[in-house]
Amino acid sequence: MPEITNEAEPLVSAEWERDIPGPVWSWWLARAKPDGTGLRRWQLWIWWTRQRGASKQMSAAIRLLRGFIEAPLEAWGGVRRFGQKTENLHGVSRSTQCLQLFVLRWRYGVRPISYYKFQLFKPERLSVAADFLEEIGQLLQVVCRHAPRTVDEQLFLSKEVFRRWCLANNIPTVINLLEVTCGRVVSRLAVQLPATDLFVKPTNWNQGKGTSRWRCISSAQGHHYTDGADHEFNSAEIEDFVCRTSLEQARPYIVQPALANHETLREYTNGALATIRLMTVRGFGQSSQPLMAALRMPTGQAIADNFDLGGVAAPIDLSTGICGAGIRKKGQLPPDTINAHPDTGAVISGLRIPYWSECLALTCRAHDLINAQVPVIGWDVAVLESGPILIEPNYLPCHNLAQMPGGFPLGSSPFAQIVTERLRKSFLSRNRPVNNKTVGRGLS
C-alpha cells in the first residue's frame, strides 16, 4: 500500500499545530463539558496560543477584557443595525433585544452578529443560545492537524482523487468528461465532448469559485456551447478555453456533464443543480451517524446553490426527509424566511426529499470507508432520477449552513461530544496520538 510522502499536501497547515497546554490551561480545559460552553473554552485556548510573545499576549488580553467592558455599546450597536427589522417581523422590542444581547455577551461571549444571524431572540433558541457555535473551523483544523496522517486526506483536497476513490469503492459520483492540468488535457472520456450541457470547475477550489455552466445548443451543423454571456464555443474551442483558464489560474480543471435533479426537486431550482448538505459525524471506534441536513436551492442567475452567495437553504428532518421553510443568508439580518422558491413559486415547507433513506445510507457508508480521523464531514449530495450521488466531501463544513436554516445548535449535538473527545485525546490524555505518524492506504 502506498504511504504519504513528505511532499504530499497536508490536510491542515502548520499554523494549527498546538503544544500540550500548561497546567492552568489543562486544569481549565479538563473541566470543559462536551457542549457549546465547553467548546468555547477550547476555542479561546486555540486563539490565545496563536498570540506569540508577551507583547501580543498583553494586547490580546486587553482586547478580550475590553470586549466585555464595551458589551453595552456593542449591544446597542446591534440593535441600531438590526433591531427595527427584528421588532417588525418577530415582535421582539428593541429594549428586550438590547437586554438579551448584553446578557448573552457577558454570559457566553455571544456577539450581536450571532444573535441576529441565529435568531436567538426566538424563545426556543434563546434557552439554548450557549450551544450555537461560531468558527468551528478552528476546532476542526486543530483536531485534524493532530490526527495521524493518511492518504485519504487527499480526498478533501482534490475532486479528482475523490472521484477515483468513489469509483474504487462503488460509490456513485459524477463522471469527468475532461481533465486538465497545467493547461494540458491529461484525460478524456471521448474524442469529442458530447452534445449535453457542461459544468466546468477547478478541482482544488471551494465555494463555487472558478465554476461555469455551459448550455449546449444543437443545430443541423452540429452543436456548440454558450455560457449565456460573452462566450460561444464549439467542442474544440471550449477545450482550449478550459486549458487556458487552467494555465492562467495554475489550477487543475475538470469538465463534467451538467446534472439534472430528480423531477420532484426541479421546481426548487433556477435550472442549476440543487444539492443537499448532509453532515455526518464519527467518534473513535464508532460507525458514522447523520448529524443534520439542509436543501440548498440556487436562485436568480446563480450557476451554483452556494448558501453564502444568495442561495436558499431549508432544513431537512433527518427522520422523515421533509423540508421546513427556507431562509436566505444574503441581505440584512435577521435572515428572511423564504416560504416559496423565489423563481418558481414552489412551496418549500413540506417538500419530501426523494430517496431519503438512500441519502443517509450513502453518506454514512462513505464516511465509514474513509481512512482518516476526520470527525465531521459535510457531504454535498445530488438527488437524480436514478438516486443520490456524492459530489464532494468537506472536512470544514459551514457552521452557518448547519445552524441557521433550522436553528440546530451544534453545541448540544453529537458534534460537541465527538470533537471534545478528540481534543481531550490529543491534548489532555497521557496516550496522545502521534501526529506525524504515516498510515498508508491505496486509492487506485
pLDDT digits (tens, 9 = 90+) for 194-204: 889 999 988 87
Closest CA to 189 of 169, 213, 163, 215: 163
On the question of pLDDT at 1 being above 50, the answer is: no
Confidence grade of residue 2 (pLDDT, cut at 50, 70, 90): very low
Confidence grade of residue 7 (pLDDT, cut at 50, 70, 90): low
- 328 or 209, which is more confident: 328
The per-residue pLDDT for range 237-253, each reduced to its tens digit, is 999 999 999 999 899 99
Please tell me the predicted confidence (pLDDT) of residue 207.
64
Cell triple for 193: 465532448
Confidence grade of residue 430 (pLDDT, cut at 50, 70, 90): low
Please tell me the predicted confidence (pLDDT) of residue 432.
58
- 351 or 231, which is more confident: 351
Contact 355, 388 (CB under 8 A): yes
Whether residue 438 is contained in a domain is answered as no
pTM equals: 0.88
Task: Give whole-number Cα distances, 315 to 278, 300, 307, 327, 338, in Å.
Answer: 10, 21, 13, 9, 12
Query: What is the percent of the chain with per-residue pLDDT over 90, rounded to a whole number?
Result: 66
Range of the structural domain that residue 181 is part of: 175-257
Instruction: Report how far residue 325's alpha carbon sits from residue 375's, in angstroms, rounded to the nearest whole number.
Output: 29
Cell triple for 73: 455599546
Mean pLDDT on 38-51? 91
Instruction: Report how far residue 351's alpha carbon sits from residue 274's, in angstroms, rounded to the nearest whole number.
Output: 13
Write the Ramachandran bin of 222: left for phi over 0, alpha for psi from -120 to 50, otherwise beta.
left
Comparing 381-390, 393-402, 431-440, which segment has the lowest mean pLDDT? 431-440
Q: Count the domains in the chain.
A: 1
Confidence grade of residue 350 (pLDDT, cut at 50, 70, 90): very high
On the question of pLDDT at 318 being above 90, the answer is: yes
Query: What is the percent of the chain with per-residue pLDDT over 70, rounded to a whole number?
Result: 94
Q: What's the angle, vertex CA 63, arms to CA 45 and CA 125, rounded to 5? A: 65
Whether residue 203 is contained in a domain is answered as yes
The mean of the pLDDT values for the chain is 89
Mean pLDDT on 166-190? 91
Whether residue 200 is contained in a domain is answered as yes
DSSP state of 441: -
Please tell me the predicted confidence (pLDDT) of residue 104.
94
Whether residue 253 is contained in a domain is answered as yes
Instruction: Report how far residue 416's alpha carbon sits from residue 433's, in angstroms, rounded to the nearest whole number.
Output: 20
Residue by residue, DSSP assigns 259-283 as P---GGGGGGSSSS--EEEEEEE--
Cβ burial, residue 27 (10 Å; 0-12/13-18/19+): exposed
Whether residue 182 is contained in a domain is answered as yes
Whether residue 213 is contained in a domain is answered as yes
Whether residue 64 is contained in a domain is answered as no
Whether residue 286 is contained in a domain is answered as no
Closest CA to 145 of 276, 249, 49: 49
On the question of pLDDT at 408 being above 80, the answer is: yes
Please tell me the predicted confidence (pLDDT) of residue 433.
54
Question: Across the strands, what pairs with 255?
Answer: 178, 200
Strands 312-315 and 289-297, by their bridges, are antiparallel
Cell triple for 378: 459535510
On the question of pLDDT at 441 being above 50, the answer is: no
Contact 313, 394 (CB under 8 A): no
